[in-house]
Amino acid sequence: MNIGEIHKKGDFIIVNGPAGFLAKCYGGCDYLTNLTVPDFTGYYSDKISLIDTNNIYLISHVGFPHYGYVFKSEDVGNSWVALYDTTDFLFTDFMMFDTLNGFVLSTFYKSVMTNNDGAVWATGVHPLIITSASLKINDSTAIIGANRQVNNKLIMFRSNHSSVYIPTQPIAG
């Protein structure tokens, strides 16, 4: 089992593994409860966005030609609904700010955004060729970065779908 990420809200913890592992626990996390994984055969769970203990979002993909899904659970991860289904769109980052606003970033400056809980996804652009790290700052802003081998940049990405560069010092090396 590979652990891809761990998220916590209050005493609720969710653990995601890319090879079909998804589990939750509470408090001291003495016991993990396996959850239903919404993945299809051959798909990998990439990233979770945990809004609260009931609303959990998950992106999943399979390799070339990059089929991908955004799933949502409203019952602590026991059942899932597909919100977005795409072909030839490599997910590199994903975040939901709340139960209405979120985005999926792809390579080569492509993005899709929603402001209605995934009922409609609008196409857009962002200034990074690929992303490597992100952090939700608050309910409307995230910092997203790319590594120096690609373009060594940071951007502020907002739920109103705007983005701006964050000035950075050159990184040696």
Asked if residue 37 has pLDDT above 90, the reply is no
Which residues, at least 6 apart from 167, have a Cβ–Cβ distance to it below 8 Å? none
61 and 107 share a domain?
A: no
Tell if the pTM clears 0.85, that is, is over it: no
Q: In this predicted model, what pLDDT tens digit does every residue of 47-94 receive, in sequence order?
A: 888 888 889 998 887 776 677 889 999 998 888 899 988 877 777 788
The C-alpha atoms of residue 44 and residue 41 are separated, in whole angstroms, by 9
Cβ(71)–Cβ(83) under 8 Å? yes
pLDDT of residue 119: 92
Instruction: Give the range of the structural domain holding residue 66, as residue numbers without chain letter.
Output: 1-88
Q: What are the Cα distances from residue 51, in Å, to 1, 71, 78, 150, 155?
A: 25, 13, 16, 31, 22
The C-alpha atoms of residue 20 and residue 40 are separated, in whole angstroms, by 9
72 and 136 share a domain?
A: no
Average pLDDT value for the chain: 78
Cα 111 from chain centroid (whole Å): 12
pLDDT of residue 173: 45
82 and 102 share a domain?
A: no
Q: How far apart are the first and last CA of the chain?
A: 34
- Please tell me the total count of domains within the chain: 2
- Give the model's confidence band at 39: pLDDT under 50 very low, under 70 low, under 90 confident, else very high: low
Asked if residue 20 has pLDDT above 80, the reply is no
Q: β-strand 44-50 against 56-62: which pairing, if any?
A: antiparallel
99 and 163 share a domain?
A: yes
81 and 164 share a domain?
A: no
